[in-house]
Amino acid sequence: MKRKLTITKQPIDEAELLCAREMSEGMGAVIYFLGVVRGTEAPDKKISAIEYEAFQKMVEHQFNLLFDEMGKRWPIESVRLVHRVGVVKVNEPSLWVEVVAPHRGEAFAACQWLIDEMKRVVPIWKKPIAA
């Protein structure tokens, strides 16, 4: 399974990511997910941005363990994941994930699983910045 992980302070360039997509003729499903910073944190607390902090070396290691496991569970051809660190303003994407697989079932399942597991084990934290 091909994999590409990017942890970056730079804004996520969706157009560039889409242009860089590669897939073989046997692939029939591409799922991509964008996580965007909401303007509220708790029910009524307005925020202007979230500052993301990462334990970079462990982030890379834990994502690679998740990619290994994902490749064992589903016939995924490739996964690409971009996560922002630093300050990300409201309405800007903080996370971009793409999974390429032969069929939509495994692509949806793998993408959902990867994001759920990321939120459980990958050492990234949020600090809301008040509006």
Task: Give the binding site for another protein (CB under 8 A).
Answer: 35, 52-55, 57-58, 60-62, 83, 94-95, 115, 118-127
For 59, the enclosing helix (H) or strand (E) is helix 56-73
Please identify, using beta-carbon distances, which residue of 103 and 127 lies nearer to another protein.
127
Please say whether the beta carbons of 6 and 94 come within 8 A: no
CB of 27 to another protein, least distance (A): 25
Please say whether the beta carbons of 3 and 10 come within 8 A: no
CB of 69 to another protein, least distance (A): 14
Please identify, using beta-carbon distances, which residue of 10 and 24 lies nearer to another protein.
10
10 Å Cβ neighbour count for 121?
Answer: 12
Please identify, using beta-carbon distances, which residue of 47 and 122 lies nearer to another protein.
122
CB of 112 to another protein, least distance (A): 12
Residue type, 56: Q
Q: Which tokens sit at 60? A: 């890379």
